[in-house]
Amino acid sequence: MTSGNVGHNQAKDALIKRLAHNFHNPTLLDEALHHSSMVGRNNERLEFLGDRVLGLVISETLMNKYPQADEGELAKRLSALVSRESCSEIAQKFNMAAPLIHDQQNDNIMLSDNVMANLCEAIIAALYLDGGLEVASHFINEAWAPILQAMTDVPANPKSDLQEYTSREGLGLPSYKLIDTSGPDHAPVITVEVSLDNGARVSANAGSKKKAEIEAAQSLLEKLITGTGEIS
């Protein structure tokens, strides 16, 4: 066994202890730890499932924690809790990237919020498939508890706020368009434009399409409200 294999196995064993779950099917965790840069076997399918499991568990937690909240408030809280940033924060907290298997030619791959968030979701899916919803829920509720506790106010949702403003002012609904995608896979630069029927438009760059849309919406909303700056 090479030193690299020993280091990987030690990192994986340490992660299992942090997850507080002994896998009945270890291949699930192995799959979760294979980055999408690996040919033939990677964690993209698990990431897809983990995203849905996370959304379900957090949605139920919010329903129980805020029994008087309406759908709009719950949606804003959910969006913040399952965001790329929140998932990346959890991945870093549990040092999930330590045993991550990826293309060795891309040593900076683990620095991306997208990569870390995808890894977190893949591991959630592995927990769910191996131990069921109870195991996945326990991990999610324990891991996200500090973030949920710190969320005293309803998080801002620029896209919803922009839509409410433009509808109220008779400006129609905002339209979002992907303008450009550049940069390497581990550090993409996504450009998105938001526009209105009256010709007002603003573009923004970010590391994900969702974040670029949020930043563009926030920028356009601020300019519409203040009446300052170029919006076309």
Provide the pLDDT for residue 120.
97
pTM over 0.75: no
Out of 31, 47, 113, 121, which one is annotated catalytic?
Answer: 121
% residues pLDDT > 90 (the chain): 58
The CA-CA-CA angle for residues 199, 205, 208, to 5°, reads: 115
pLDDT class for 39, splitting at 50, 70, 90? low
Question: Any catalytic annotation for residue 44?
Answer: no
**In the chain, where do the E strands start and end?**
175-182, 189-195, 201-206
Question: Any catalytic annotation for residue 51?
Answer: yes
Out of 47, 51, 113, 193, which one is annotated catalytic?
Answer: 51
Tell me the helices (H) and strands (E) count for the chain, helix number first: 8, 3
Neighbours of 182 (CB within 10 A): 10
Distances (CA, A) of 28 to 24, 52, 124, 134, 209: 9, 17, 10, 17, 29
Which of 15-24, 125-134, 153-162, 171-180 is least confident?
153-162
Note the pLDDT tens digit of each residue in 100-131.
887 665 555 556 788 899 999 999 999 999 99
pLDDT > 60? residue 6: yes
- Report yes or no: 161 and 149 within 8 Å, Cβ to Cβ: no
Residue with tokens 């990569």, as numbered in its chain: 115
Amino acid 42 reads N
3-state secondary structure 161-218: HHHHHHHHCCCCCCEEEEEEEECCCCCCEEEEEEECCCCCEEEEEECCHHHHHHHHHH
Instruction: Please report which helix (H) or strand (E) contains residue 11, including its range.
Output: helix 3-19
Tell me the CB-side half-sphere exposure of residue 86, using CA atoms within 13 A. 22
Domains and CATH numbers, the chain: 3-150 (1.10.1520.10), 158-226 (3.30.160.20)
Mean pLDDT of 29-51: 87
pLDDT > 60? residue 18: yes
pLDDT class for 183, splitting at 50, 70, 90? confident
pLDDT class for 194, splitting at 50, 70, 90? very high
Provide the pLDDT for residue 1.
47
Residue with tokens 């009446």, as numbered in its chain: 227
pLDDT class for 140, splitting at 50, 70, 90? very high
What are phi and psi for residue 180, nearest 5 degrees?
-160, 150
| C-alpha span between 126 and 99 (Å, rounded) | 15
